[in-house]
Amino acid sequence: MDDLTLLSVEEMGEADRITIRGGTPGIELMETAGGTVSDAIAARFTPRRTLVVCGPGNNGGDGFVVARLLRERGWDVELTLLGKREDLRGDAALAAAKWDGQVAALTPDLLDGVELLVDALFGAGLARDIGGVAFDFLARAESMVCDGALTSVAVDMPSGVDGNTGAVRGVALPAVMTVTFFRKKPGHMLYPGRALSGELVVTDIGIRADVLREIVPATFENARELWALVLPRPHASSHKYTRGHAVISGGEMTGAGRLAARAARRAGAGLLTVVAPSSLCPLFSADAPGVITAPADDVAAFSSLLEDARKNAVLVGPGHGVSEHTRSIAEAALRAERTIVLDADALTVFAGEAEALSSMIQAPAVLTPHQGEFARLFPDFSGSKLEMARAAAELVGAVVVLKGPDTVIAAPDGRSAINGNAPPWLATGGTGDVLAGTILGLLTQGMPAFEAAAAAVWLNGAAASRFGPGLIAEDLPEIFPRIFAEDLRWSEISSNSSPRER
């Protein structure tokens, strides 16, 4: 799982320091880093007129190494520096001393006739908005890239992108390829940084993986290795009750609840009951004979149905509408102290009352807001998507799934994951309902909340990618069996195995 670790800019700096304290000189790390960048460039491009733009820090030092090594390969290389060569310090100064070519002062005119730009200007540690000549240079370079007149390769992070947040600090230069070192950073995974990074290449520069035990990072890329060990799998003695009994509160927009129900069952829930007003029950069962329906025309009847301890996980929200009734149903589900998923309107009914919601959560809970719902529930929060999701999870004491093309899953204990497998065609109506149902289905089988949420997000992304363009929400659960069998290898579990043998 170490390969899934995402390191903040500060944590990456600590990894460097630990390695240097362990006896590896900083200039050796810099030489290796520059070497991996030059190797990646040479593997993907033929020699062409190249400009290496260097900043005043260690990222610029990497650029000096890249320029020297490309020139040794026979490339036509020029180098420009923001600042003065004599002002460089430490390893950057040592790297610059090995460059025997000219060092031009940074100016946009240097881009005339350049075909390939190696961007070693600012890297991941940019702490303020870009201004001055650097802004002018990057703005012209960005225009040339967008016009197809220039190709940019970034060292560590495209200049102008915040390595921790993925945000653009004034201006940013899109890269066709970004070469980073040891581990990815959150800014490589969060938009717009992800889109600006192009092909992401992570290289080994001699930092040992065991430094992570000292750093103890808590942010990961969402992938199978993060949750596969606790993914519920049926065994020989399984039956429908051991796989859990999920409950969905059915709202008037019945399509949402039906999508969630289909997903929860495909995700493995042993039984599923939709609790809805009696007039709606036939709609929930008409196209799904395996769904149990239970009439509940008021909150008291809904609460009564949850007294059955075998009904161990509940979803409230899809298709409900924003109303006092929706809030009453959500509060009743929370009082029942069942594992719970709150989605859609069951979040909006608590708008601006996150602390009140927190006081009601007494069992494992997952909240699944999109950006608009999140803003309504947490109106005072600001910062990056990762920062906001993590703060929200800590405040409410629940797992928060902040949805989008770069969905963030955050746990109250500080762990977080950023998802990277969602294709664009997942952006269609009803997929949020499917996701909520998928989470419910995994929770019903006893999967821990953080891992269940992360697995469900990944599963929906994998299913959408497998289906391809033209996807509608109804397609997703029908792809789950193939993902379970082929990608998650459920079929490798022996039909005679016991839970202890798994």
Query: 105 phi and psi, to 5 degrees?
Result: -70, 145
Residue 11: pLDDT band (50, 70, 90) is very high
Q: Are 344 and 256 in contact (CB under 8 A)?
A: yes
Architecture of domain 2-221 in CATH? 3-Layer(aba) Sandwich (3.40)
DSSP assignment string, 325-391: HHHHHHHHHHHTT-EEEEETHHHHTTTT-HHHHHHH--S-EEEE--HHHHHHHSTT--S-HHHHHHH
Query: 359 phi and psi, to 5 degrees?
Result: -65, -20
pLDDT value, residue 1: 67
Percent of the chain surpassing pLDDT 90: 93
Question: Tens of pLDDT along 170-196?
Answer: 999 999 999 999 999 999 999 999 999
Q: What value does the mean pLDDT of the chain take?
A: 95
DSSP assignment string, 214-265: HH---EEE--GGGTGGG-----TT--TTTT-EEEEE--SSHHHHHHHHHHHH
Architecture of domain 236-406+429-467 in CATH? 3-Layer(aba) Sandwich (3.40)
Question: Tens of pLDDT along 414-469?
Answer: 999 999 999 999 999 999 999 999 999 999 999 999 999 999 999 999 999 999 99
Rounded Cα distance, 430 and 408, in Å: 19
Q: What is the token pair recorded at 189?
A: 């995974």
SS3 271: strand
Q: Region 19-27: what's the mean pLDDT?
A: 98
Using alpha carbons, select from 385, 387, 384 the residue that is nearest to residue 395. Answer: 387
Least confident of 236-240, 341-345, 460-464: 236-240
pLDDT value, residue 234: 86
Residue 500: pLDDT band (50, 70, 90) is very low
* 413 C-beta neighbours (distance < 10 Å), count: 11
Question: Tens of pLDDT along 128-182?
Answer: 899 999 999 999 999 999 999 999 999 999 999 999 999 999 999 999 999 999 9
Percent of the chain surpassing pLDDT 70: 97
Query: 344 phi and psi, to 5 degrees?
Result: 55, -125
Whether the predicted pLDDT of 492 surpasses 90: no
Tell me the pTM.
0.95
Amino acid sitting at position 268: G
Question: Tens of pLDDT along 282-329?
Answer: 999 998 999 999 999 999 999 999 999 999 999 999 999 999 999 999
Whether the predicted pLDDT of 222 surpasses 70: yes
pLDDT value, residue 499: 37
Q: Region 207-216: what's the mean pLDDT?
A: 97
> Sheet holding 199-203: strands in order across?
104-105, 77-81, 50-54, 116-120, 151-155, 177-181, 199-203
Residue 236: pLDDT band (50, 70, 90) is confident
Name the residue ranges covered by the structural domains of the chain: 2-221, 236-406+429-467
Residue 495: pLDDT band (50, 70, 90) is very low
Residue 123: pLDDT band (50, 70, 90) is confident
Q: Are 201 and 180 in contact (CB under 8 A)?
A: yes
SS3 179: strand
Q: Region 379-407: what's the mean pLDDT?
A: 97
